Chains A and B, each alone.
Chain A
């Protein structure tokens, strides 16, 4: 089946309906939309404090068409733990339970509960949507912000590198771990479908560029997301029961400079610095990390 046909066969239904307040070009809601195509209506979603938690509606209106629980910032996987325990004890089977958190809600303040749920092998899917900053509070740098990126609180560029949460969760022994990109929806959806069929703790980490904080035009989100993969900085892979598989290998990798130069947050980087990034990517070439 060709890609076009596959896309055509996705459910039409939008479980995060139009009318949400995500700004145009915002990668977070694009990731939600894609995810819900795979997850379907029999899903409970827990979203901690984040941009995605707040764009879904105001007061008594909501764009969510599945049960949506806005948890506190640092404990979406912990709330999901209680929800799953209750579903089981009440004999409610067949419900897909997802904690869907930003990078801070996963890698920083949310890390404790994420790590706990992973270690206990809770029967939940955790999706980290990674916009490499704290969008909801104005775009501050966090653990997954890459080295060199300018943010409101790293005006000279972040001096330290990106926390490798995928490897960290893999090291917990999670049964299923995968990276994803909103530029590769079918890859993401296939991974989520696979995850959905499994039990226990499953982890997906999707890169979700954001125009305002990364510094590109709102119609370039998918393009930027694709460049991240095509230049080798954001490889697409999955680790199933310890077996690693690259799910997409660019035919010819584009220069890292193409990705870096397309974003305002890296505008101050020198040619040497970009060359060093290129060297790093080359050293880890062949996929995976």
Chain B
């Protein structure tokens, strides 16, 4: 059925269709409408699920971890301050190999206080052991939440997954979304019931460890994260076959034919960049777009092979790692580090705290990167798109 849905509502529909069983959650702007939608489904008997009104974001994830230990399908949603407060629980959930799925309606972090979107909240959790998928529109949000459960619960993975989409830009904006039928989703996503906590089979969960086994444990966790890349792709392919929508797996190359340079982006900037690339192509400028859908696991090999034919890349980051630059830029550079031919990788910080990333912005970046294919060298550091020079005391 086609419906007009915000990203929050699309997520709620996905949660309903996934038949989530326990939903411990704590409100945070701009995620709260999703809670209301899911509670509405439960209230009207359209979803059999325990909504737990927790007393903090930290407790929300603790509750989800507890539910997952008993073999229930657990879901929660958060962002920014809430996600930061969950930090230690993120490691814990991943370390216990619990397939919890969490929607992150990306929002900038304080200070200064800001309720508008960027990716810095999730990027800051990159080392916690969660898979991180990023969406470009509300249809992808719905589809990716469904895929996330399949990926997380796969015996080869058993890791928690964050599904990211920017607050307001996607979270509050209505788009036409195809909402699949329950039977189709049931066939794609079977019920889950992997109980670790069970009085019939007592086990000790998270006993104290030391150097004797901790390292091997972590190795296995790392290996599972690396291996999850295959599962991300497989699940996307199966989804595409069943539902007719292909989101590219871990990465998607758009208009890569004869491209001399590539733009690289995640999240809603990808949909903006599609327009920019179309316009540039129409003007005869050979620029392609690389959409990174999976930030964790990071598809380094695919990026290297996709980039093999181009002379330069430009990475658009909606995040900042202070003193380093954009996280996606750092990863792309790392992915290309082993290449025999050195390629310039330009870096752009854009759209922080909800500032718009326009088609014109992306086209300007496209011009830069095409120019770099001629020069072969790039300016050091990141370029901050649309920075107000007078506000930072750099006005000429």
Contact = CB atoms under 8 A, between A and B. Distances in A.
A82 B63 contact: yes
A81 interface: yes
A53 B24 CA distance: 25
A87 B209 CA distance: 28
A79 B65 CA distance: 7
B17 to A, nearest CB: 17
Contact of B50 (A61, A80, A89, A119): A89
Query: Of residues A54, A69, A82, A89, which shows the largest number of chain B Cβ atoms within 10 Å of its Cβ?
Result: A82
Interface in A161-218: none
B207 A58 contact: yes
Interface stretch (B69-77, B134-142, B277-285, B331-339): B69-77
Contacts of B59: 75, 78, 81, 112-113, 116
Contact of A81 (B24, B195, B204, B213): B24
Given A41-B199, A60-B213, A66-B202, A81 B69 contact: no
B92 A72 contact: yes
B74 A86 contact: yes
B58 interface: yes
Contacts of B62: 71-72, 75, 78-79, 81-82, 113
A85 B48 CA distance: 12
B72 A67 contact: no
Given A85-B50, A89-B49, A67 B66 contact: no
A44 B197 contact: yes
A56 interface: yes
Interface residues of A, number: 45
How big is chain B's contact interface, by range?
Answer: 35 or more
Interface in A75-124: 75, 78-83, 85-90, 92, 95, 112-113, 115-116, 119-120
A131 interface: no
Contacts of B202: 41, 64-68
Given A69-B197, A85-B72, A59 B213 contact: yes
A42 interface: yes
Contacts of B69: 69, 82-83, 86
Interface string B62-104: 1111111111101000000000000011001000000000000
Contacts of A71: 62, 66, 206
B55 interface: yes
B53 to A, nearest CB: 7
Contacts of A120: 52-53
> Can you list the 9 inter-chain pairs with the closest CB atoms, starting with the nearest?
A116-B55, A82-B66, A82-B63, A78-B59, A86-B70, A86-B72, A62-B204, A75-B62, A85-B50
Interface of A: 41-44, 46, 53-54, 56-62, 64-72, 74-75, 78-83, 85-90, 92, 95, 112-113, 115-116, 119-120
20 contacts: A42-B199, A59-B213, A69-B197, A70-B207, A78-B63, A81-B62, A81-B63, A82-B62, A82-B68, A83-B67, A85-B50, A85-B52, A85-B63, A86-B21, A86-B67, A86-B68, A88-B50, A89-B48, A92-B70, A116-B56
